[in-house]
Protein backbone atom coordinates (compact mmCIF):
# COMPACT_ATOMS: atom_id res chain seq x y z
CA UNK A 1 0.00 0.00 0.00
CA UNK A 2 1.35 3.42 -0.91
CA UNK A 3 0.33 7.01 -0.29
CA UNK A 4 -2.03 8.00 -3.12
CA UNK A 5 -1.02 10.70 -5.58
CA UNK A 6 -4.09 12.88 -6.15
CA UNK A 7 -4.27 15.73 -8.64
CA UNK A 8 -4.32 18.99 -6.71
CA UNK A 9 -7.60 20.32 -8.12
CA UNK A 10 -9.30 16.96 -7.60
CA UNK A 11 -8.20 16.97 -3.97
CA UNK A 12 -9.50 20.50 -3.40
CA UNK A 13 -12.84 19.55 -4.95
CA UNK A 14 -13.12 16.45 -2.79
CA UNK A 15 -12.24 18.39 0.34
CA UNK A 16 -14.85 21.03 -0.46
CA UNK A 17 -17.50 18.33 -0.86
CA UNK A 18 -16.51 16.71 2.42
CA UNK A 19 -16.65 20.02 4.27
CA UNK A 20 -20.22 20.42 3.03
CA UNK A 21 -20.99 16.91 4.26
CA UNK A 22 -19.74 17.84 7.73
CA UNK A 23 -21.78 21.05 7.72
CA UNK A 24 -25.03 19.58 6.44
CA UNK A 25 -24.89 15.85 7.20
CA UNK A 26 -22.77 15.70 10.36
CA UNK A 27 -20.08 13.67 8.61
CA UNK A 28 -17.20 12.62 10.83
CA UNK A 29 -13.87 14.42 11.01
CA UNK A 30 -11.35 13.23 8.48
CA UNK A 31 -7.57 13.23 8.06
CA UNK A 32 -6.51 12.52 4.49
CA UNK A 33 -2.87 11.64 3.75
CA UNK A 34 -1.77 11.95 0.13
CA UNK A 35 0.73 13.53 -2.21
CA UNK A 36 0.37 15.70 -5.32
CA UNK A 37 1.98 16.04 -8.69
CA UNK A 38 4.44 18.95 -8.84
CA UNK A 39 2.50 22.21 -8.51
CA UNK A 40 2.78 25.63 -6.95
CA UNK A 41 -0.16 26.85 -4.92
CA UNK A 42 -0.98 30.46 -4.15
CA UNK A 43 -2.49 31.27 -0.77
CA UNK A 44 -4.65 34.24 0.11
CA UNK A 45 -1.65 36.32 1.27
CA UNK A 46 0.64 35.53 -1.66
CA UNK A 47 2.52 38.27 -3.49
CA UNK A 48 2.83 37.92 -7.27
CA UNK A 49 6.50 38.88 -7.07
CA UNK A 50 7.18 35.71 -5.07
CA UNK A 51 6.45 33.58 -8.13
CA UNK A 52 9.99 33.68 -9.53
CA UNK A 53 9.83 31.05 -12.26
CA UNK A 54 6.68 28.96 -12.82
CA UNK A 55 8.36 25.59 -13.36
CA UNK A 56 5.04 23.86 -12.69
CA UNK A 57 1.33 24.70 -12.89
CA UNK A 58 0.21 27.40 -10.48
CA UNK A 59 -3.15 27.15 -8.72
CA UNK A 60 -4.86 29.74 -6.57
CA UNK A 61 -6.28 28.26 -3.42
CA UNK A 62 -8.48 29.50 -0.63
CA UNK A 63 -6.11 28.51 2.17
CA UNK A 64 -4.19 31.06 4.14
CA UNK A 65 -0.51 31.68 3.55
CA UNK A 66 1.55 32.48 0.48
CA UNK A 67 3.19 30.44 -2.29
CA UNK A 68 4.24 26.88 -1.62
CA UNK A 69 5.30 23.83 -3.59
CA UNK A 70 3.66 20.41 -3.58
CA UNK A 71 5.09 17.36 -5.25
CA UNK A 72 6.33 13.78 -5.04
CA UNK A 73 8.25 13.05 -1.88
CA UNK A 74 5.99 15.13 0.35
CA UNK A 75 3.44 13.77 2.77
CA UNK A 76 0.40 16.02 2.79
CA UNK A 77 -2.14 15.89 5.58
CA UNK A 78 -5.50 17.45 4.76
CA UNK A 79 -7.50 17.87 7.95
CA UNK A 80 -11.25 18.33 7.98
CA UNK A 81 -12.32 18.96 11.57
CA UNK A 82 -15.46 20.45 13.06
CA UNK A 83 -13.97 22.95 15.50
CA UNK A 84 -17.34 23.29 17.21
CA UNK A 85 -16.53 19.93 18.81
CA UNK A 86 -13.11 21.04 20.02
CA UNK A 87 -12.40 24.74 20.39
CA UNK A 88 -13.59 27.55 18.14
CA UNK A 89 -10.15 29.10 17.99
CA UNK A 90 -8.29 29.09 14.66
CA UNK A 91 -4.97 30.15 16.18
CA UNK A 92 -5.15 27.34 18.75
CA UNK A 93 -6.00 24.90 15.95
CA UNK A 94 -2.94 25.92 13.91
CA UNK A 95 -0.79 25.60 17.03
CA UNK A 96 -2.17 22.09 17.52
CA UNK A 97 -1.12 21.13 13.98
CA UNK A 98 2.34 22.52 14.66
CA UNK A 99 2.55 20.59 17.94
CA UNK A 100 1.47 17.43 16.14
CA UNK A 101 4.27 17.72 13.57
CA UNK A 102 6.88 18.63 16.18
CA UNK A 103 5.95 15.61 18.33
CA UNK A 104 6.09 13.34 15.29
CA UNK A 105 9.54 14.63 14.37
CA UNK A 106 10.76 14.11 17.93
CA UNK A 107 9.87 10.42 17.93
CA UNK A 108 11.92 9.91 14.75
CA UNK A 109 14.89 11.72 16.28
CA UNK A 110 14.54 15.29 15.01
CA UNK A 111 14.27 18.31 17.28
CA UNK A 112 11.98 20.83 15.62
CA UNK A 113 10.80 24.25 16.74
CA UNK A 114 8.69 27.28 15.89
CA UNK A 115 9.67 30.89 15.22
CA UNK A 116 7.30 33.69 16.14
CA UNK A 117 8.19 35.72 13.06
CA UNK A 118 8.05 32.79 10.60
CA UNK A 119 5.30 30.32 9.82
CA UNK A 120 5.81 26.58 9.68
CA UNK A 121 7.95 24.04 11.52
CA UNK A 122 11.72 24.51 11.59
CA UNK A 123 14.83 22.43 12.20
CA UNK A 124 18.59 22.92 12.26
CA UNK A 125 20.66 21.56 9.38
CA UNK A 126 24.41 22.13 9.45
CA UNK A 127 23.93 25.09 11.75
CA UNK A 128 21.28 26.73 9.59
CA UNK A 129 17.58 27.01 10.34
CA UNK A 130 15.50 25.40 7.62
CA UNK A 131 11.81 24.69 7.15
CA UNK A 132 10.67 21.08 7.20
CA UNK A 133 6.88 21.50 7.15
CA UNK A 134 4.41 24.14 5.96
CA UNK A 135 0.91 24.78 7.27
CA UNK A 136 -1.97 26.44 5.45
CA UNK A 137 -5.58 26.17 6.54
CA UNK A 138 -9.01 27.32 5.51
CA UNK A 139 -12.07 27.44 7.75
CA UNK A 140 -15.72 27.51 6.71
CA UNK A 141 -18.41 27.71 9.39
CA UNK A 142 -15.83 26.39 11.85
CA UNK A 143 -15.00 23.42 9.61
CA UNK A 144 -11.31 23.22 8.71
CA UNK A 145 -9.73 22.05 5.48
CA UNK A 146 -6.33 22.05 3.79
CA UNK A 147 -3.67 21.36 6.45
CA UNK A 148 0.07 20.68 6.30
CA UNK A 149 2.79 19.31 4.06
CA UNK A 150 5.85 17.53 5.42
CA UNK A 151 9.00 17.15 3.32
CA UNK A 152 10.12 13.55 3.39
CA UNK A 153 12.14 13.24 0.18
CA UNK A 154 11.04 15.86 -2.38
CA UNK A 155 13.31 17.43 -4.99
CA UNK A 156 14.23 20.56 -3.03
CA UNK A 157 15.37 22.33 -6.21
CA UNK A 158 11.69 22.64 -7.15
CA UNK A 159 11.32 25.34 -4.51
CA UNK A 160 13.56 27.62 -6.57
CA UNK A 161 10.61 28.73 -8.69
CA UNK A 162 9.01 30.54 -5.74
CA UNK A 163 9.79 32.36 -2.52
CA UNK A 164 8.34 29.69 -0.21
CA UNK A 165 5.82 31.24 2.17
CA UNK A 166 7.28 34.66 1.35
CA UNK A 167 10.48 33.94 3.30
CA UNK A 168 13.63 34.68 1.29
CA UNK A 169 16.31 34.30 3.97
CA UNK A 170 15.80 30.63 4.80
CA UNK A 171 15.78 27.41 2.80
CA UNK A 172 13.63 24.30 2.83
CA UNK A 173 14.87 20.91 3.94
CA UNK A 174 13.64 17.32 4.08
CA UNK A 175 13.92 14.25 6.26
CA UNK A 176 16.28 12.76 3.69
CA UNK A 177 18.56 15.79 3.79
CA UNK A 178 18.56 15.49 7.59
CA UNK A 179 19.68 11.88 7.28
CA UNK A 180 16.39 10.25 8.28
CA UNK A 181 15.03 7.53 6.03
CA UNK A 182 11.34 6.77 6.48
CA UNK A 183 8.63 5.70 4.07
CA UNK A 184 5.49 7.78 3.74
CA UNK A 185 3.46 4.83 5.01
CA UNK A 186 5.57 4.57 8.17
CA UNK A 187 5.36 8.35 8.59
CA UNK A 188 1.57 8.13 8.33
CA UNK A 189 1.46 5.44 11.02
CA UNK A 190 3.58 7.47 13.40
CA UNK A 191 1.57 10.62 12.71
CA UNK A 192 -1.63 8.73 13.54
CA UNK A 193 -0.09 7.50 16.79
CA UNK A 194 1.14 10.98 17.70
CA UNK A 195 -2.24 12.55 16.93
CA UNK A 196 -3.81 10.66 19.80
CA UNK A 197 -1.65 12.62 22.27
CA UNK A 198 -2.55 16.15 21.14
CA UNK A 199 -4.83 17.65 23.77
CA UNK A 200 -6.64 19.96 21.35
CA UNK A 201 -8.11 16.99 19.49
CA UNK A 202 -9.33 15.06 22.52
CA UNK A 203 -13.09 15.22 22.52
CA UNK A 204 -14.88 15.79 25.82
CA UNK A 205 -15.97 12.56 27.51
* Active site residue ranges: 165
Identify the bridge partners of residue 82 per DSSP, sorted by sequence position: 143
Q: What are phi and psi of 110, to 5 degrees?
A: -120, 125
Q: How far apart are CA 180 and CA 190, in angstroms?
A: 14
Report DSSP state, residue 111. -
Q: How far apart are CA 153 and CA 178, in angstroms?
A: 10
Identify the bridge partners of residue 5 per DSSP, sorted by sequence position: 35
DSSP 23-70: HHH-PPPEEEEEB--SEEEE-TT--GGGB----S-EEE-SSSSSEEEE
Q: What are phi and psi of 96, to 5 degrees?
A: -65, -40
Q: Is 105 helix (H, G, I), strand (E, B) or coil?
A: helix
CB neighbour list of residue 110: distance below 8 Å, 6 or more residues apart: 123, 132, 175, 178, 180
Residue 150 has, within 13 A of its CA and on its CB side, a CA count of 25
Q: Is 154 helix (H, G, I), strand (E, B) or coil?
A: coil
Amino acid sequence: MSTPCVHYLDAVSEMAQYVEAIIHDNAQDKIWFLEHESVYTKGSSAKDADLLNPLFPVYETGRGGQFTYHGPGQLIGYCMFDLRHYKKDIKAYIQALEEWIIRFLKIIGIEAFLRADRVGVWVLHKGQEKKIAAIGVRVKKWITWHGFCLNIDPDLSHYKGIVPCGIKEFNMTSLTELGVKISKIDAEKKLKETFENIDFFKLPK
